[in-house]
Amino acid sequence: MKIILLQDIDKIGKKYEIKNVTSGFAKNFLIPKVMVKPATKEAILWAETQREIVSKKETKVLKEIQDLASRIDGKEITIPLKVGKKGQIFQSITSQKISEKLKEIGFNVKKSQIKLEEPLKEIGEFPVKISFEHNLEVEIIVIISKEK
């Protein structure tokens, strides 16, 4: 039986794809759970239209991510901290703090996108990777300096 997937289904396919499955599987499991619909001529046209809409949205999102990645790549951000008499700092820099600093200067980056193995705990310059969707990855420099 030919069906149109209404959602991604493991081992069967992606949303809006047209697939062949056994009629018993479709009628007894997939259709009652509203995971698929029968592939009539009208439904096939509808699915093709939906695929085009999704494709255009994905292309637009990819372009936005590429634009953000190109603007942020190699950027240096400075985070001033209070430093003790012996040069020790009293807080560590986490991905949350880096994310907040990036938002201050106009880059909307989630803390989950910032790849920091462990918090930064000393003064200096540190390369930090940021991973975006579509396997885009950039590197920024985080500078931790003495507060004046």
pLDDT above 70 covers what percent of the chain?
100
What is each CA distance from 139 to 47, 85, 128, in whole angstroms?
Answer: 39, 32, 5
- pLDDT (tens digit per residue) in 104-142: 998 989 999 999 989 988 888 999 999 998 888 999 999
For the cut 90, the answer to whether the pLDDT of residue 6 exceeds it is yes
Mean pLDDT of the chain: 91
pLDDT above 90 covers what percent of the chain?
68
User: What is the value of pTM for the model shown?
Assistant: 0.68
For the cut 90, the answer to whether the pLDDT of residue 36 exceeds it is yes
Q: Which two tokens stand for residue 146?
A: 């003495």
Given this model, what pLDDT does residue 89 score? 83
Over residues 70-98, mean pLDDT? 87
Q: What is the C-alpha to C-alpha distance for residues 143 and 71, in angstroms, rounded to an integer? A: 18
For the cut 90, the answer to whether the pLDDT of residue 86 exceeds it is no
Q: What is the C-alpha to C-alpha distance for residues 98 and 79, in angstroms, rounded to an integer? A: 8
b/e map 112-139, b = 16+ CB within 10 Å:
ebbebeeebeeeeeeebebebeeebebe
